[in-house]
Amino acid sequence: MSNSATPKTTGKSTTVQLDDYQLNDRYTRTSGQVFLTGTQALVRIPMLQAEADKKRGLNTAGFISGYRGSPLGNYDRELWLAEKQLSLHNIKFKPGINEELAATAVVGSQQVETSGYADYDGVFGIWYGKGPGVDRASDALKHGNSFGASPQGGVLVIAGDDHGAVSSSMNHQSEQIMASWMMPILAPSNLVDYLNFGLYGIAMSRYSGCWSGFIAVSEVLESAATVNLDLVKDDFITPEHVGYDQGALHYRWPDPFPLVEGRLVDHKLKAVHAFVRANPIDKVIWDCSKNFFQRGEHASAGGAQVATIGAIATPIKQRLPLGIVTCGKGYLDLMQALENAGIDQELAEKAGISIYKVGLTWPLEPEGITAFASQFDKIIVIEEKRSFVESQIRDIFYNLPADMRPVIIGKTDEQGQQILDPVGEISPEDVLKALTPSFHAIGLNGNLDALNSAVSEKLIALETVVNKDRRTPYYCSGCPHSTSTKVPDGSRAMLGIGCHFMAGGMNRNTGSLTQMGGEGVNWIGQSAFTSEKHVFQNLGDGTYYHSGLLAIRQSVAAESTITYKLLYNDAIAMTGGQPLEGTLTVDQISHQLHNEGVKPIYVVTDEPEKYKQYGTFAPGVTIHHRDELDDIQRKLREVPGVSALIYDQTCASEKRKRRKKKQFPDPPKRAFINDLVCEGCGDCSTASNCVSIVPVETELGRKRAIDQSSCNKDYSCVNGFCPSFVTVHGGAVKKGARSNPADLMDQIPLPEFAPVSGDYDIMITGIGGTGIVTIGQIMVMAAHLEGLGASVLDFTGFAQKGGSVISYLRLAKKADDLKAIRIGTGAADLLLGCDMVVAGSKETLRTLKAGKTSVILNTHKAQTAQFVLNRDADIHDELITRNLTAVVGDAALDSVEATKIATAIMGDSIATNMFLFGYAWQKGKIPLSLDAILRAIELNRVAIDSNKQSFSWGRIAATDLSLVEQSLPMPIKDDAPLTKLEDIIDHRAKYLTDYQDQKLANRYRTAVASIRSLEEKLGTKNDDLSQAVARYYFKLLAIKDEYEVARLYTNGEFEQKIRQQFEGDFKIHFHMAPPLLARKDSKGHLRKMEFGGWMFKALKLVAKFRGLRGTAFDIFGLTAERKMERKLIADYEEMLGEFGKSLTLDKLEAATALASTPSEIRGFGHIKEKAVELSTKNSVALLQDYHSQDKTTAAAE
């Protein structure tokens, strides 16, 4: 909703009293508003339960167990962080090593009261797990529900459902399996519901003896919002036990097995309904019966029955037009759809529409739904995924008299046509479209068709958008998976759960996925029927500890030939770096595997020196450096039976976190690429698979550099066969600007913006792992401090691994004004594009609208993972910008190169997002006060001063960019590529003079001039061929032999670049493979060696002898590589001579392509040899194309 008509206010709020909020308030406040994430709301539930019990004089405790998994990936972390508060409430958290054992532990909490040794009146239990974990724990949970809860205990079963398969191997819906266990199910819609339904579930469990299911869908669970604790109810009516046996409800022992099912069906479920009737959780949200019948409309013939809703008795003969039944997230989508259509409660009720929100989705309480639904001609059920509530309503009404049965639709309409998708997620737009025919039928028209058409047109238009860039998740810089998942040529591997899954998109001949704990067992069913003799199976230490060992046991039992590659990385990396439950070490794993019959077992590590003796390992285990990985795998694939390779390397993300806390060694060593020497061949990316290697565009082609801000010091990139790598020992990366932004703030006026009156929606796009989620969290906390309603949904999935992040941030005057959590189609007021690739995605474009949305865009081209796999991959920045402006218009787009500026002035690219936040705020696009934002930054408790400075620099840049530029430690410059032929020639001729002598430069000039002369004779207006020759003949002439590499290290430019990036006392080590000194590996390739600073003097000496190049005294010129390079020059010159004889206008395009073939010749040694081989093949094909033009011309004549 636009705020354009609202009076402006300044960013320095003097009228708003900020809430004196502390982070612990989320767990300690007993009234008023708190700010909670969905996960924190789940942490607060047991505390509220303990407090409620204490008020009633009960001495209870709590027990929580489960297993992590998105969207519940961080529940255990939040529980650990809240350990002090939990302890004060006698709540113990013991995570399970897998879901079923955690559920069994929760069963134990319900046995306390009957044990005879209880220290408490009762223990309430909470189990948690993601959807597939619910499936896995089915037996344990079914037993727990059947055996029963204790009277003063009670159990809440939290199922984390990923309806859209954002971070799961498939879409998930847990209701059906829970219902098969006959477990009551609660479906909360928002975070207030989380607290209320959590307490309700435990109370219902205590009363009925059933365990209570609790559906936590990712869209709500992964959101954060202001929550009013005054809306939380913790007292419940205990109804009389009528119609069933109270003594049959709760846990007991002994419990005769034949009677268990009967107790559940005949007694517990009846008690559930009794509790729900006494404590209604199904609510009539809008009630049209009074308003509609006051108009005297819509009377129809019918029976004399009376339906009662609360105190309202409605004769059935006066049928109402339309009842809407909804639950869970569907309720939010429904209410947002109605708001989008301008349908408020008054209008709806006058039109004859009522809304019934179901809280208990199974078993549906029949009296309430019958009383509601039997009033209406038609019931439409709005629920996400497969029909669940709808089918129960049909069952309830099936045998009722015809005059009490409404038409019931939901997923399909009256004609059986689908109107709501049963697969994946639904949106408010989907709901409105589904409701429109029913609204039309009762005369409620308005602008429904126009709204639906606008959405349809938008979605159709998005289908035609050309989007060439996609930010997919990838391994973090220095990730052990980057090395461990490699397989030898000719072998293949199978995927594992978690981070291993990403190897499937990395050109590693890796695929096929099983459920967690089934890794490698599928090979048993394959291997007997294929000619393939062996596979590798990736397996993480978390999965191994969870259930993977059983899969290995099965493979041994089946006598499979398979190698398990078990990565021990000391953390559960995918869900946030949690530690493994219990203890597990590499030597323990080796003994477990050995005792299972696995052999041989190899340990591969980046630190073999830490295992000084093998005595603690299983017999026969040997330990090797990770450089031997390929050789070891080649041996293992020839071994029959089940073998294992344990790859030991700490998770890179955890290394980084621990180093910041001084809990992990931080070697004073960094890798650096001399881009003058670099050929851009990409072998460093092949060796490291690392996203911290970034492109550098130069006049002499694309080179590479290391992003020191994201580098995790893995050093595997140094193994790329290239002499451009050095390591810097000692010193530090230069950080910081010359001046403090505080000195400039008196020149920066406060912005004006319209205060939030309706709703204000902000899309934030960025890259996982760069602090992008923090921006949304700070914004919503600032809004909370101001007393505004606010919510944010961080749509991440695998994004913590460098994938795309979209944060849907919604602001409103009151929390009640916010309905759906995700921003609707064309509803965004601001796009804060911290990453342009995600900003240009179709999901982001969907939310934008001309005349409404402003865009603040970071134009930095942060490469996607595709660059690691394809050395020439690039971001299509112009296409992204065109797509954005096509939607919002040129005037709505404000672009700034935030990353380069923020990195230069703060010394770290992590400052980018906060810089852009400040930039957007100063532009008046974020309606929050400065005081609130700064306080929210403080409450975030991370890099407070740095974040405040980055925010301030963004404000300064938005006001006067020159003030920032004047404060930079060094100018930011992007050298534009030369475009004029004479400039290209002059630049390279000068280079060749320095490279060798003026004679070589003249030779170069002469050759290019002769080609340009040919073009002029042909009368062509362009000089494409001349430019190609100017660039690539030069490339062949300027061979990076030993003399040239030495010159490029010692001519002063390299030292200048090192000093620009590093400061302090440091030394340089060189990593090279001199042919006369280096040894060869098993493939016959030279191995690189490390040389100390003395090499610098040696290089200076070698550079001085470059005059020997090509003479009889040139010892380096005798190698096969140098002979190959000289032949390339001769062949190219011969080709140019051929052009002089046969070039025509028809052949010009083919000639240009031929002249450009050296562009693919990059690298050194065996890398260059492969490139030459490929280039030669391409040249042969292009030469045939060139000469085919003669035949075409002759035929035409």
Q: Decide if 838 is inside a domain.
A: yes
Residues 789 and 867 in one domain: yes
Residues 506 and 407 in one domain: no
Residues 125 and 95 in one domain: yes
For 9-116, where are the alpha helices, taking DSSP H only? Answer: 25-28, 38-55, 75-81, 83-88, 99-109
The predicted structure's pLDDT at residue 584:
87
- Residue 871 identity (one-letter amino acid): R
Residues 864 and 994 in one domain: no
Q: Is the pLDDT assigned to residue 296 strictly greater than 50?
A: no
Q: Decide if 731 is inside a domain.
A: no
Q: Is the pLDDT assigned to residue 440 strictly greater than 90?
A: yes
Q: What dihedral angle (degrees, nearest 10) is formed by the CA atoms of 78, 82, 83, 85?
A: -150
The predicted structure's pLDDT at residue 1161:
96
Residues 143 and 85 in one domain: yes
Q: What is the CATH number of the domain that holds 558?
A: 3.40.50.970
Percent of the chain with pLDDT over 90: 84
Residues 191 and 316 in one domain: no
Q: Is the pLDDT assigned to residue 336 strictly greater than 60?
A: yes
Give residue 796's pLDDT band: very low, low, confident or very high (50, 70, 90).
confident
Q: Can you tell me the distance from the alpha carbon of 202 to that of 671, in angstroms, rounded to the nearest whole number? A: 56
Average pLDDT, the chain: 92
Give residue 291's pLDDT band: very low, low, confident or very high (50, 70, 90).
confident
The predicted structure's pLDDT at residue 1192:
56
Q: What is the pLDDT of residues 1140-1190, one digit of tens each?
A: 999 999 999 999 999 999 999 999 999 999 999 999 999 999 999 899 876
Give residue 218's pLDDT band: very low, low, confident or very high (50, 70, 90).
very high
Residues 309 and 360 in one domain: yes
Q: What is the pLDDT of residues 768-784, one digit of tens each?
A: 888 899 999 999 999 99
φ and ψ at residue 123, rounded to 5 degrees: -130, 120
CB 835 within 8 A of CB 767: yes
The predicted structure's pLDDT at residue 647:
97
Q: Pick the last residue of a domain from 221, 251, 278.
A: 278
Q: Can you tell me the distance from the alpha carbon of 239 to that of 247, in angstroms, rounded to the nearest whole number? A: 15
The predicted structure's pLDDT at residue 317:
55
The predicted structure's pLDDT at residue 625:
95
Q: Can you tell me the distance from the alpha carbon of 60 to that of 84, in angstroms, rounded to the nearest whole number? A: 17
| Count of domains for the chain | 5
The predicted structure's pLDDT at residue 654:
86
Residues 856 and 995 in one domain: no
Q: Decide if 239 is inside a domain.
A: yes
Q: Decide if 725 is inside a domain.
A: no
Q: What is the pLDDT of residues 600-625, one digit of tens each?
A: 999 999 999 989 777 799 999 999 99
Q: Decide if 655 is inside a domain.
A: no
Q: Decide if 866 is inside a domain.
A: yes
Least confident of 441-450, 810-819, 968-977, 1064-1073: 968-977
Q: Pick the last residue of a domain from 623, 650, 677.
A: 650
The arithmetic mean of pLDDT across residues 179-184, rounded, is 98
Q: Decide if 1055 is inside a domain.
A: no
- Residue 876 identity (one-letter amino acid): H
The predicted structure's pLDDT at residue 615:
77
User: From residue 1042, how far is each of 1047, 1088, 1105, 1117, 1165 by CA, in Å?
Assistant: 9, 14, 10, 9, 12
Q: Look at residues 309, 348, 358 and name the one whose alpha carbon lies nearest to residue 438.
A: 348
The predicted structure's pLDDT at residue 580:
74
Query: Exposed e or buried b for every residue in 1-14, given b needs 16+ CB within 10 A?
Result: eebeeeeebebebe
Q: Is the pLDDT assigned to residue 1093 strictly greater than 90?
A: yes
Give residue 798's pLDDT band: very low, low, confident or very high (50, 70, 90).
low
Q: What dihedral angle (degrees, nearest 10) is formed by the CA atoms of 769, 775, 781, 787?
A: -150
Residue bearing tokens 């052009």: 1139
Give residue 800's pLDDT band: very low, low, confident or very high (50, 70, 90).
low
CB 112 within 8 A of CB 120: yes
Rounded to 10 deg, the angle between the 1042-1050 and 1053-1061 helix axes is 50
Q: E strands along 659-777, which residues?
A: 669-673, 693-698, 701-706, 725-733, 752-753, 759-767
Q: What is the CATH number of the domain that holds 834?
A: 3.40.920.10
The arithmetic mean of pLDDT across residues 1013-1035, rounded, is 95
The predicted structure's pLDDT at residue 190:
96
Residues 274 and 288 in one domain: no
Least confident of 195-199, 384-388, 497-501: 497-501
Residues 118 and 73 in one domain: yes
Q: Is the pLDDT assigned to residue 573 strictly greater than 90?
A: no
Give residue 575's pLDDT band: very low, low, confident or very high (50, 70, 90).
low
- The SS3 of residue 1138 is helix
Q: Considering the entire predicted model, what is its pTM? A: 0.92
Q: Can you tell me the distance from the alpha carbon of 594 to that of 331, in angstroms, rounded to the nearest whole number? A: 54
Q: Pick the last residue of a domain from 255, 278, 301.
A: 278
Q: What tokens does 1016 get?
A: 């002029």
Q: What is the pLDDT of residues 14-25, one digit of tens each?
A: 457 898 999 999
Domain of residue 1165: give its range. Answer: 981-1041+1109-1184
Give residue 1191's pLDDT band: very low, low, confident or very high (50, 70, 90).
low
Q: Decide if 1065 is inside a domain.
A: no
The arithmetic mean of pLDDT across residues 867-892, rounded, is 96
Q: What is the pLDDT of residues 258-287, one digit of tens each?
A: 999 999 999 999 999 999 999 999 999 999
Give residue 305's pLDDT band: very low, low, confident or very high (50, 70, 90).
very low
The arithmetic mean of pLDDT across residues 412-420, rounded, is 97
Residues 287 and 263 in one domain: no
Q: What is the pLDDT of residues 37-65, one digit of tens each?
A: 999 999 999 999 999 999 999 999 999 99
Q: What is the pLDDT of residues 721-746, one digit of tens each?
A: 999 999 999 999 987 665 789 989 99
For 353-507, where are the alpha helices, taking DSSP H only? Answer: 366-373, 389-397, 428-441, 448-463, 480-484
The predicted structure's pLDDT at residue 9:
57
Residues 930 and 992 in one domain: no
Q: What is the CATH number of the domain that holds 333?
A: 3.40.50
Q: Is the pLDDT assigned to residue 208 strictly greater than 90?
A: yes
Strands 642-648 and 562-568 come out as parallel
